[in-house]
Amino acid sequence: MTRKIRIVVVIGNPGAKSRTKVLAQAIATRLADGLAGHHAIQLQTLEIAQLAPQLLASGWPAELPPEGAAAVHAIETADLVVAATPVHKGSYTGLFKHLFDLVAPEALVGRPVLLAANGGSDRHALVVDHQLRPLFAFFRALTVPSAVYAAESDFEGYTIRSSALQARIDEAVAQAVGLVLRGREEALIEHRQAA
């Protein structure tokens, strides 16, 4: 029996109420739908807003309290990471970066990462490609080609109201599902050849 596909959703918003969280959850729901027919799924959400005290306890992973260490470990062992952040000062939030500073440099090599950001307007839409993508290039992760950017105008309060945003989510999710399934297939072939 194959093990569950583990999706880890990182929400980089430092506050409790968050459009980034709504966006990340919409992506996670679509991912679960897309993968459900193929594999069992385990979905884990890591909210910076809740984890900040544990993550800020140290700059060294080995010195983190258990909850912080578990969050880092979850990212390092995920089959797919959804990295979602609000735009702060033209980039990801400082706490989002701090979390990924704690991730081992080799842990995400070749691993699919779906990039998502949410800003006040469309002015900083390229933050996904000019800020987030280079961060995951450092990790040599397999970033999903289409990233998802949302602006406040894509929401009605804290509900997604834009069909264009929904279409961007669908496109990125379809690509991510393809990458995860291909990776799983290749792992199975390697396993059979080694047996």
Ligand X SMILES: Cc1cc2nc3c(=O)[nH]c(=O)nc-3n(C[C@H](O)[C@H](O)[C@H](O)COP(=O)(O)O)c2cc1C
Residue 124 lies near ligand X (rule: CB under 6 A): yes
How far is it, in rounded angstroms, from Cα 191 to Cα 195? 6
Residue 123 lies near ligand X (rule: CB under 6 A): yes
Amino acid at 3: R
Residue 89 lies near ligand X (rule: CB under 6 A): yes
Q: What is the DSSP string of the chain?
A: -PPPEEEEEEE--SSSS-HHHHHHHHHHHHHHHHHHTTS-EEEEEEEHHHHHHHHTT-SSGGGS-HHHHHHHHHHHT-SEEEEEEE-BTTB--HHHHHHHHTS-TTTTTT-EEEEEEEESSGGGTTHIIIIIHHHHHHTT-EE-SS-EEEEGGGEETTEE--HHHHHHHHHHHHHHHHHHHHHHHHHHHHHHHH-
Residue 6 lies near ligand X (rule: CB under 6 A): no
Binding piece for ligand X, criterion CB under 6 A, among 11-19, 44-52, 59-67, 141-149? 11-19
Binds ligand X (CB under 6 A): choice among 20, 25, 131, 143: 20
Residue 16 lies near ligand X (rule: CB under 6 A): no
The least CB distance from residue 119 to ligand X, in Å, is 3
Residue 94 lies near ligand X (rule: CB under 6 A): no
Total of chain residues touching ligand X, rule CB under 6 A: 17
How far is it, in rounded angstroms, from Cα 75 to Cα 105? 12
Residue 88 lies near ligand X (rule: CB under 6 A): yes
Residue 92 lies near ligand X (rule: CB under 6 A): no
Binds ligand X (CB under 6 A): choice among 15, 59, 110, 134: 15
Residue 86 lies near ligand X (rule: CB under 6 A): yes
How far is it, in rounded angstroms, from Cα 9 to Cα 28? 7
The least CB distance from residue 111 to ligand X, in Å, is 25
Residue 68 lies near ligand X (rule: CB under 6 A): no
The least CB distance from residue 182 to ligand X, in Å, is 31
Binds ligand X (CB under 6 A): choice among 119, 133, 136, 179: 119
Q: Which residues bind ligand X (CB under 6 A)?
A: 13, 15, 18-20, 86-90, 118-121, 123-124, 152
